[in-house]
Amino acid sequence: MAIRVVDFKTVSAEGLESSPVAQALAGLRANESRYFFNKFKHTVVTVPAQEAPQIVQWVNAILQERDLEITDEPLEVSAFEVEGVVCAYVFYKSGLSINVLYSLESDGKRAVGFKLSDGMDVPASLEGKFKFARQRSKLAGTIRGSYFVIRGEYDTSTVLRAMPEV
């Protein structure tokens, strides 16, 4: 498995080169990595999406709550557990990043976040369904983001087993 440690000090587009907004998407990926390192001292690693399709399938199953279907090509994925929360990421060729934060406690917070890389349009599948707030990032430029709260119950065991131990 091709494991990539996401470095937020030296942003690299490795693994994302086929994206038309590769550098912005790499900055977005690094921005997410920095967050988890600063808050939890957790190092984010990714693998090519085709090496862990279970992660994409799990995220897609959750998106069905809102009748959403992402047709963009997934490039990289990540999944991990930190402080009782399962986190999954899918980084798409278009520049879209989807993350799922899923508390293992039934009364904990569970949400899907969408982040759009600088320079990309809102995907047709999300257009008009969400309002996107803007935030500035030194690593990613302008990030537009939105989210929805997860209502259903989803098994996390498959998604966590999809990632290799580091």
- The low-confidence residues of the chain, meaning pLDDT below 50, are none
Q: Which residues contact 74 (CB under 8 A, 6 or more apart)?
A: 49, 56, 90, 91, 92, 93
Distance separating alpha carbons of residues 13 and 16, to the nearest angstrom: 5
**Contact in structure between 25 and 90 (CB atoms under 8 Å):** no
Q: What is the pLDDT of residues 43-59, one digit of tens each?
A: 999 999 999 999 999 99
Q: Which residues contact 70 (CB under 8 A, 6 or more apart)?
A: 60, 63, 90, 92, 96, 98, 123, 125
Which pLDDT score, from 0 to 100, does residue 1 have?
66
Mind spelling out the 3-state secondary structure of 57-85?
A: HHHHHHHHHHCCCCCCCEEEEEEEEECCE
How many beta carbons lie within 10 A of that of residue 132, not counting itself?
14
